[in-house]
Amino acid sequence: MLWNSKGKPNAFLKVSYSLLAKFFFFAIAPFFSITAATVVLDPGHGGRYLYPYRLYGDKFDKASGGYLDRYREGARERGIYESEWMYALAQRIKSYLDKTLLPKGHSFFKSLLARYGKAPSKIKPVRSFLSRQPSYYVNYYKRREDLNEDFRLFDYENWRTGEKKLGTISRINSYCPELVVTLHLTETKVSPKGGLASVITPGYTTFELARQYIMAPENERSSFAQAFEKTPYANWFISEGGYNAWQSFLKDAWIYFTGYAPEKNGLHPKSWRGLRHNLISWSYAEDSEGIERPLWQIEGRFWERERSLAEKWRREGGEEGYGGDNFFASQQLLRFIRLGLFLNKVDSARSLPEIFPPYISTWAVPTFVNAVSAYLEVAHLGSKRDFQRISRHLEIYAQSISVGIYYLFYPFPLHQIKIQDRPLPKGVDFDKYREYPGGNYFTAVGPCWGMNHGP
């Protein structure tokens, strides 16, 4: 008899329901809820540079129905395609992290951690997702109408059907991740020894120096330029020939605030480049459709977010002295790569790739996600030694980054190894974002519809 006379489930069934609920929370929930650490692995690029970029590029401009920027297909060096190799790296990292999800993978994962330190007795789950599909040449014929369809960073409309499509940044945010690990290779020329570097974007207070400079009367401007020189960001990334760091910073600040690239003096708008925070699907887009937007508008949801404490934590100050948790998380993972190369005897303590100063600019992924963003240049392909390392030892990069990701969530004591730039004995404080006033900062980025896709 399952139902009592009043048509309600009897005690036996009630017990079963509660058992079922318990089973859900302890056995199934780690896969389908935010109780597990959630990471998006974000291999760079994936599409192809095609001319003309108005038809095939990235940053879709609704007003003109074309793209505002060329598609950036990434580095290529002697048979190594960045987009393909970073996809393979992300897949391998995921296959390691997936070992944390089921008890039968725990002993394997523990033995991996044990190479780096004293492995914890209990492995905790780290769920990971990839931000994109394999690069365009997989399923080339199926894709040939629009090779960049699945690889644009920003949202766009299908040119034939008008259907709205999500870009990679919106897809990342749909998982409401706590950590995003972006993986790139670069062709930037460095010493033959090669090296590793973080990619970071500063917070609002730094960009505000540019806005103040532009707004100020001419005779008061120089104080803001001098203030910028004193910040840790003065070594700004130079993306345009003939520009210095200050001019590059001004240009990027214009794009950040107004969507316009300025003239070289940084005082007047020149060309429309798109207001990036409105080119993605998330809870901070401005709903100013049809309303003339003031050029220097700094009110509204996105700008409140930019000036929030959480963004300050992500992008300013912190363990490294600047760059916030984003820079700290990035540097920790780079230190784990060094540790991995040393422990696996790829390098001696002296031949290890050094960690270069970060690439600082207004990069899209670290700016437009609420997760802690670790953005890594894992090798400089122009360097012979780096080329060898990445082409022969991709598995060691995958292992060390996986261990590093686990460590950022759940730090454990590392072996005392005498090399420079060892990981600092500390993880990222994710709880301060989870317990953010007004609700979990990671899930505030938008509806988390990607969460239930499963690993």
When the beta carbons of 75 and 250 are compared against Zn ion, the nearer one is 75
Handedness of CA 263, 267, 272, 274 (dihedral sign): positive
β-strand partners of 376: 183, 198
Sole window of 70-78, 261-269, 279-287, 337-345 interacting with Zn ion (rule: CB under 5 A): 70-78
Using rule CB under 5 A, residue 358 touches Zn ion: no
User: Where does residue 248 fall: left (phi above 0), alpha (psi -120 to 50 degrees), or beta otherwise?
Assistant: alpha
Q: Shortest Cβ distance from residue 90 to Zn ion (Å)?
A: 13
Q: Applying CB under 5 A, which part among 69-77, 210-218, 324-332, 400-408 lies near Zn ion? A: 69-77
Contact 256, 298 (CB under 8 A): no
Identify which range of 71-79, 143-151, 308-316, 437-445 contacts Zn ion by CB under 5 A.
71-79
Q: Which residue is nearest to Zn ion (CB)?
A: 184
* 197 vs 285, beta carbon nearer Zn ion: 197
- Under a CB-based contact definition with an 8 Å cutoff, are residues 135 and 46 in contact? yes
**Residue 75 CB, nearest approach to Zn ion (Å):** 6
- Minimum distance from residue 303 beta carbon to Zn ion (Å): 29
- Could you tell me the smallest distance in angstroms from the CB atom of residue 108 to Zn ion? 31
Which parts of 127-146 interact with Zn ion (CB under 5 A)?
Answer: none
Residue 286: exposed, middle, or buried by beta-carbon count in 10 A (0-12, 13-18, 19+)? middle
Residue number with CB closer to Zn ion (30 or 44): 44
Q: Which is nearer to Zn ion, 36 or 355 (CB)?
A: 355
Element (H or E) spanning 354, and its range? Answer: strand 354-355
Nearer to Zn ion, 184 or 276 (CB): 184
Please list every residue from 144 through 163 that binds Zn ion, using CB under 5 A. none
As a three-state string, the secondary structure of 233-294 is CCCCCCCCCCCCHHHHHHHHHHHHHHCEEECCCCCCEEEECCCHHHCCCCCCCCCCCCCCCC
Residue 179 phi/psi, 5-degree rounding, is -140, 135
Kindly determine how many residues on this chain lie close enough to bind Zn ion according to the rule CB under 5 A: 3
Q: Which of 209, 231, 207 lies closest to 220, judged by CA?
A: 209
Considering the complex, what minimum distance in angstroms separates the CB of residue 131 from Zn ion? 13
**CA distances in angstroms from 272 to 27, 61, 201, 250, 268, listed in the order given:** 51, 10, 21, 15, 12
Between 53 and 81, CB nearer to Zn ion: 81
The nearest distance, CB 44 to Zn ion, in angstroms, is 4
Q: What are phi and psi of 129, to 5 degrees?
A: -130, 155
Q: 234 is written with which tokens? A: 């003065």
Nearer Cβ to Zn ion (73/252):
73
Please tell me the chain's helix, strand, coil percentages from 3-state DSSP, rounded to the nearest 5: 40, 15, 45
The length of the chain in residues reads: 455
Least CB distance from residue 379 to Zn ion, whole Å?
Answer: 11
Closer residue to Zn ion (CB): 74 or 340 = 74
String marking each residue 167-206 x if it binds Zn ion according to CB under 5 A = -----------------x----------------------
Which of 34, 37, 42, 44 forms a contact with Zn ion (CB under 5 A)? 44
Q: How far is the CB of 56 from Zn ion (least distance, A)?
A: 18
The residues, ordered by sequence, that sit 6+ positions from 302 with a Cβ below 8 Å of its Cβ are 277, 284, 285, 286
User: Least CB distance from residue 94 to Zn ion, whole Å?
Assistant: 19
| Between 74 and 203, CB nearer to Zn ion | 74
Nearer to Zn ion (CB atom), residue 257 or residue 375 = 375
Q: How far is the CB of 392 from Zn ion (least distance, A)?
A: 21
Can residue 74 be called a binding residue for Zn ion (CB under 5 A)?
yes
Q: How far is it, in rounded angstroms, from Cα 90 to Cα 229?
A: 37
Q: Which residues bind Zn ion (CB under 5 A)?
A: 44, 74, 184
